Structure 1
Amino acid sequence: MSDFDQMGLVVDWVDACRRGDLATLLDLYADDAELKCTCNGTRLYRGRSALEAYWGPKLSAFSSAGFGLEEIHPAQNGVDLEYSIAGSLRIRASFRFSADGKIHGTLCEPAQQDAHQGCVC
């Protein structure tokens, strides 16, 4: 078990997304972090500049549309989160962490939702 609050770190991630705060969001990630998104095909983003390119355009859309925390719970190797955009579009994200208390890996994928909804992650 790690000596930092993994759930608290993911809540900080949610708060940064709600505020559209890219700098704070990026600071939560390790320098060599990876984000794998399977929402519209599989894409892998590695390192701060790739994460910045991924998150930059999304955060303003999230903050204007509304970003909601739906579910959060500890997982075997990290934390699993389900969040919503605009109150209905649901996305599942799994977080894994580095020993120094940063997000080291994120996997996002569409959560179960209405057939007419798409994924913007």
Structure 2
Amino acid sequence: MDIYLNHTIVYCHDMFASAKFYEKIFGFKFIKVWENFAVVTVNKTLSLDFRDKECFTAQHYAFKVSDSQFDQILARIQHNNIAYGPGPENTYENEINHHYGGRGLYFKDPNQHLLEIITADYILD
């Protein structure tokens, strides 16, 4: 049996606003607030469960997307005037990268989590 990541908790300052941000930018589906979590489905096997917490360390979340999804997400980033850049240390030049024959970019969510979208897997050989 293949093993899949089922969900991960994403700490934030406002779980509802965070869930709506990911829905708006990525096109993920905000399901509902359940107990202490705002649940957003990424795909059939993965959800992001946003949970309010006063203090937390910002994390990095990378999503592999198709070329058309990349274009759609980039358009939503631009439409919402969100700064983005080609690398994790450069999220403000409004440029993308072309690593490994694909496209990628980095931007931050309202909680300062670093988000990455890529169209090609990293080559690790």
Structure (1 or 2) with the greater strand fraction:
1
Does the pair score TM above 0.5?
A: no
Structure (1 or 2) with the greater helix fraction:
1
TM-score calculated relative to the size of structure 2: 0.30
Higher alpha-carbon Rg: 2
